[in-house]
Amino acid sequence: MLWSMSTRWLDPEERAAWLRFAAVMELLPGALDAQLRRDAGLSHFDYFVLAMLSEAPEHTLRMTALAQKTNATLPRLSHVVNKLEGRGLVERFPCPEDGRATNARLTDRGWDLVVETAPGHVETVRHLVLDGLSRTQVRQLARISDAMLARLDPEGRMQALINPDASPSVD
Amino acid sequence: MLWSMSTRWLDPEERAAWLRFAAVMELLPGALDAQLRRDAGLSHFDYFVLAMLSEAPEHTLRMTALAQKTNATLPRLSHVVNKLEGRGLVERFPCPEDGRATNARLTDRGWDLVVETAPGHVETVRHLVLDGLSRTQVRQLARISDAMLARLDPEGRMQALINPDASPSVD
DNA sequence: ACCCAAAAGTTGTTCCTTCAACCAATGTCC
DNA sequence: GGACATTGGTTGAAGGAACAACTTTTGGGT
């Protein structure tokens, strides 16, 4: 910002909202991660990967598709799937239609783990986020988040998630 | 959750709110980090450390106090302050009152950097978060965040920030 | 005075993420 | 139908964060 346009600082209401919201963003991810790590030995990202697979047809997705749904880079996903494969939660096999592509599929063990883990995770989300809000506030939060998403993700890559689907998924 | 109490799943409204909110939490930190890294060569955490010092009397804080304000562990803070000290943005000196303690103080260069950087950062926060919201929604966001904070941080360690104070700070 | 527990920081190790380089398969354009 | 760019994915090394172990200083108890 070289051309120093006298900054519009935050007024008290804006500042109050931003500071609180920033504090939530600081604390909530760690809290969710801690619960999953404790109860299932999974990072939040690990769990999310499994959850996305659990929602997919055949419990299978191409790596690229999975990366988009989880908002991850391909290298990151590759490493994580390596780890999950080592634990027998996921298996990889070449995609029949495209020789370049790889499919990731949830194993039975992986599915079982998601099914075991989802209830506790939902309970945590409820406890930390939703239960403190009124019905009205839940609706307000949805609209506010939508407004932010319009700025953060104009292309709507993450919108895939915001549709109806299968059972455990939950995230 | 062994005692398997048939889980209260999220209803459509709750699910809609949570998915959108989770997407925001996924994207926003990275966006803020990217802007600061590009314009000032600082991670968001780095910037936050400097900002907290810039608000403190004498631009000085004990490591422990700084760690609380930034929600960091002491080891993490120690490493980061090492780096910032190497760049001449912060200096450390033993605390006169307590031989165990160390004080961290913002240098002149550090102060200058915060002053240069703050406007662009505020502009980014405005653009990504606040400008998309109505005045009413800004107030709603503050109240909603407060409700979550009551669950996430019952002790209110981060509440220190939610008070009025000096100029550049901004975060 | 002395001992022992707790507090304040630092250092080192490990794990995770990101970045860059790389390989293989596909598709395209003369 | 052969060269070249593109897509899909993996791998290895480098930078950051969490956790554990280790000093040093303080303070309380006897």
Share of chain A above pLDDT 70, in %: 87
Work out the average pLDDT over B82-99. 90
* Model confidence at A37: pLDDT above 50: yes
First to last CA, chain B: 37
Work out the average pLDDT over B105-124. 93
According to the model, what pLDDT value does residue A168 have?
A: 44
Number of C-beta neighbours around residue A107 at 10 A: 17
Q: What is the pLDDT of residues B28-37, one digit of tens each?
A: 998 898 899 8
Is A61 strand, coil or helix? strand
Is B104 strand, coil or helix? strand
According to the model, what pLDDT value does residue A108 have?
A: 96
Residue that wins the pLDDT comparison between A81 and A1:
A81
Q: Using pLDDT thresholds of 50, 70 and 90, give the confidence band for residue A153.
A: confident
Q: Using pLDDT thresholds of 50, 70 and 90, give the confidence band for residue A61.
A: very high
Contact A152 B8 (CB under 8 A): no
| C-alpha span between A37 and A61 (Å, rounded) | 24
| C-alpha span between B148 and B146 (Å, rounded) | 5
Q: Which residue in the set B16, B130, B164 is minimally distant from A14, CB to CB?
A: B130
| C-alpha span between A24 and A46 (Å, rounded) | 22
According to the model, what pLDDT value does residue B77 have?
A: 93
Work out the average pLDDT over B4-17. 85
Q: Which residue is nearest to nucleotide C19 (CA to C1')?
A: A75
Q: How far is CA A130 from CA A39, A93, B18, B26, B152, in A?
A: 21, 39, 8, 18, 12
Is A105 strand, coil or helix? strand
Mutate to test the interface with B, among A1, A115, A137 (most CBs of B within 10 A): A1
* Model confidence at A165: pLDDT above 70: no
Q: Using pLDDT thresholds of 50, 70 and 90, give the confidence band for residue A74.
A: very high
Work out the angle between the directed axes of helices B108-125 and B44-55 (0-180°, nearest 10): 120
What's the CA B101/C1' C2 distance, rounded, in angstroms? 24
Kind of pairing between the strands at B60-62 and B102-106? antiparallel
Mutate to test the interface with B, among A4, A21, A158 (most CBs of B within 10 A): A21
* Model confidence at B4: pLDDT above 80: no
| C-alpha span between A65 and A85 (Å, rounded) | 18
Contact B119 A4 (CB under 8 A): yes
According to the model, what pLDDT value does residue A6 have?
A: 75
Which residues make Cβ contacts (< 8 Å) with residue A116, sequence separation at least 6? A40
Work out the average pLDDT over B74-94. 92
| C-alpha span between B120 and A57 (Å, rounded) | 45
Instruction: For residue B74, give the nucleotide whose C1' atom is nearest its CA.
Output: C9
State both tokens at A157. Answer: 């890559």
Work out the average pLDDT over B153-166. 60
State which residue of chain A sits closest to B127, comparing Cα positions.
A151
Work out the average pLDDT over A43-47. 94
User: Which residues from A are below 8 Å from B31, CB to CB?
Assistant: 152
* Model confidence at A85: pLDDT above 80: yes
Contact A128, A88 (CB under 8 A): no
Q: What is the pLDDT of residues B28-63, one digit of tens each?
A: 998 898 899 888 889 999 999 999 999 999 999 999
Contact A16 B162 (CB under 8 A): yes
Instruction: For residue A99, give the nucleotide whose C1' atom is nearest its CA.
Output: C25
CA A48 centroid distance within chain = 5
Work out the average pLDDT over A109-119. 94
Compute the nearest-CA separation of B94 from chain A (Å): 30
User: Which residues from B are below 8 Å from A126, CB to CB?
Assistant: 8, 10
- Dihedral of the CA atoms B106, B111, B114, B116 (nearest 10)? -160
State both tokens at A91. Answer: 């298996």
According to the model, what pLDDT value does residue B159 have?
A: 61
Work out the average pLDDT over B101-129. 93
Mean of all residue pLDDT scores within chain B: 87
Q: What are phi and psi of B136, to 5 degrees?
A: -65, -45
Q: Could you give the domains of chain B?
A: 28-161 (1.10.10.10)
* Model confidence at A48: pLDDT above 80: yes
Mean of all residue pLDDT scores within chain A: 88
